[in-house]
Amino acid sequence: MIVALVVLVAFTAVDSNRDELLSKMQHLADTRFMGSVEKMLVHYDKNKDDKYNRQELGQLLQDANVGTRLTRNRWIDGIFAQLDSNRDGYISREEFLKAVPEKKYSNGQKAK
Protein backbone atom coordinates (compact mmCIF):
# COMPACT_ATOMS: atom_id res chain seq x y z
CA MET A 1 0.00 0.00 0.00
CA ILE A 2 2.78 2.46 0.91
CA VAL A 3 4.71 1.59 -2.26
CA ALA A 4 1.59 2.18 -4.36
CA LEU A 5 1.10 5.55 -2.68
CA VAL A 6 4.72 6.56 -3.31
CA VAL A 7 4.43 5.54 -6.97
CA LEU A 8 1.15 7.46 -7.28
CA VAL A 9 2.71 10.58 -5.77
CA ALA A 10 5.78 10.23 -8.00
CA PHE A 11 3.60 9.60 -11.06
CA THR A 12 1.59 12.74 -10.29
CA ALA A 13 4.77 14.76 -9.69
CA VAL A 14 6.28 13.60 -12.97
CA ASP A 15 3.02 14.13 -14.85
CA SER A 16 2.55 17.67 -13.55
CA ASN A 17 6.20 18.51 -14.24
CA ARG A 18 6.53 16.74 -17.59
CA ASP A 19 7.41 19.92 -19.50
CA GLU A 20 10.09 20.82 -16.96
CA LEU A 21 11.51 17.29 -17.11
CA LEU A 22 11.62 17.26 -20.91
CA SER A 23 13.06 20.78 -20.99
CA LYS A 24 15.88 19.87 -18.60
CA MET A 25 16.69 16.66 -20.47
CA GLN A 26 16.73 18.51 -23.80
CA HIS A 27 18.94 21.20 -22.25
CA LEU A 28 21.39 18.48 -21.15
CA ALA A 29 21.35 17.02 -24.68
CA ASP A 30 21.88 20.50 -26.16
CA THR A 31 24.75 21.52 -23.88
CA ARG A 32 26.68 18.26 -23.58
CA PHE A 33 25.69 16.14 -26.58
CA MET A 34 25.36 18.60 -29.49
CA GLY A 35 21.56 18.53 -29.24
CA SER A 36 21.33 14.78 -29.74
CA VAL A 37 19.08 12.85 -27.37
CA GLU A 38 20.39 9.65 -28.97
CA LYS A 39 24.01 10.54 -28.10
CA MET A 40 22.89 11.42 -24.58
CA LEU A 41 21.21 8.03 -24.20
CA VAL A 42 24.28 6.20 -25.51
CA HIS A 43 26.42 8.04 -22.94
CA TYR A 44 24.20 7.09 -19.98
CA ASP A 45 23.82 3.45 -21.08
CA LYS A 46 26.88 2.41 -19.10
CA ASN A 47 26.70 -1.32 -19.85
CA LYS A 48 25.67 -0.76 -23.51
CA ASP A 49 22.60 -3.00 -23.39
CA ASP A 50 20.24 -0.45 -25.04
CA LYS A 51 18.19 -0.15 -21.87
CA TYR A 52 18.37 1.92 -18.72
CA ASN A 53 18.20 0.75 -15.14
CA ARG A 54 17.39 2.91 -12.13
CA GLN A 55 21.03 3.83 -11.53
CA GLU A 56 21.62 4.93 -15.14
CA LEU A 57 18.41 6.97 -15.15
CA GLY A 58 19.32 8.47 -11.78
CA GLN A 59 22.67 9.68 -13.11
CA LEU A 60 20.99 11.21 -16.16
CA LEU A 61 18.45 13.00 -13.93
CA GLN A 62 21.18 14.23 -11.61
CA ASP A 63 23.19 15.63 -14.51
CA ALA A 64 20.03 17.27 -15.92
CA ASN A 65 19.31 18.85 -12.49
CA VAL A 66 16.01 17.03 -12.11
CA GLY A 67 14.97 16.66 -8.49
CA THR A 68 17.26 16.58 -5.51
CA ARG A 69 19.03 13.78 -3.67
CA LEU A 70 15.90 13.51 -1.52
CA THR A 71 13.35 13.47 -4.36
CA ARG A 72 15.20 11.83 -7.24
CA ASN A 73 14.02 8.29 -6.37
CA ARG A 74 10.42 9.48 -6.60
CA TRP A 75 11.15 10.93 -10.02
CA ILE A 76 12.70 7.61 -11.05
CA ASP A 77 9.65 5.69 -9.75
CA GLY A 78 7.30 7.94 -11.70
CA ILE A 79 9.33 7.77 -14.89
CA PHE A 80 9.52 3.98 -14.70
CA ALA A 81 5.76 3.82 -14.05
CA GLN A 82 5.15 5.80 -17.24
CA LEU A 83 7.86 4.54 -19.60
CA ASP A 84 8.57 0.91 -18.67
CA SER A 85 5.66 -0.37 -20.74
CA ASN A 86 6.57 -4.06 -20.49
CA ARG A 87 7.38 -3.77 -16.75
CA ASP A 88 10.73 -5.54 -17.04
CA GLY A 89 12.48 -3.10 -14.69
CA TYR A 90 14.30 -1.35 -17.52
CA ILE A 91 13.46 1.47 -19.89
CA SER A 92 14.46 0.48 -23.40
CA ARG A 93 15.96 3.06 -25.73
CA GLU A 94 12.78 2.80 -27.82
CA GLU A 95 10.57 3.46 -24.77
CA PHE A 96 12.79 6.41 -23.87
CA LEU A 97 12.77 7.96 -27.35
CA LYS A 98 8.96 7.82 -27.48
CA ALA A 99 8.89 10.12 -24.46
CA VAL A 100 11.95 12.27 -25.24
CA PRO A 101 12.11 12.54 -29.03
CA GLU A 102 15.08 13.92 -30.91
CA LYS A 103 14.85 17.66 -31.46
CA LYS A 104 14.38 18.52 -35.11
CA TYR A 105 15.28 21.71 -36.86
CA SER A 106 12.83 23.62 -39.03
CA ASN A 107 14.12 21.81 -42.13
CA GLY A 108 13.13 18.45 -40.59
CA GLN A 109 16.70 17.31 -39.91
CA LYS A 110 17.63 15.77 -36.57
CA ALA A 111 20.13 17.55 -34.36
CA LYS A 112 23.59 16.08 -34.87
What does residue 52 show for φ and ψ, rounded to 5 degrees? Answer: -120, 125
Q: Is the pLDDT of residue 9 over 90?
A: no
Q: Is 18 helix (H, G, I), strand (E, B) or coil?
A: helix
| Helices 18-32 and 54-63: angle between axes, nearest 10 degrees | 80
Residue type present at position 87: R
Q: Is the pLDDT of residue 79 over 50?
A: yes
Q: Domains of the chain: which residue ranges? A: 2-99
**Closest C-alpha to 103, from 20, 22, 18, 44:** 22
Instruction: Give the model's confidence band at 111: pLDDT under 50 very low, under 70 low, under 90 confident, else very high.
Output: very low
**CATH number for the domain formed by residue range(s) 2-99:** 1.10.238.10
Percent of the chain with pLDDT over 70: 77
In sequence order, the 6+-apart residues with CB closer than 8 A to the CB of 100 are 22, 25, 26, 37
Mean pLDDT of 105-111: 44
| Helices 18-32 and 37-44: angle between axes, nearest 10 degrees | 90
Residue type present at position 64: A
The string of pLDDT tens digits covering residues 40-52 is 999 999 999 999 9
**CA–CA separation, 108 and 46 (whole Å):** 30
Q: Is the pLDDT of residue 89 over 60?
A: yes
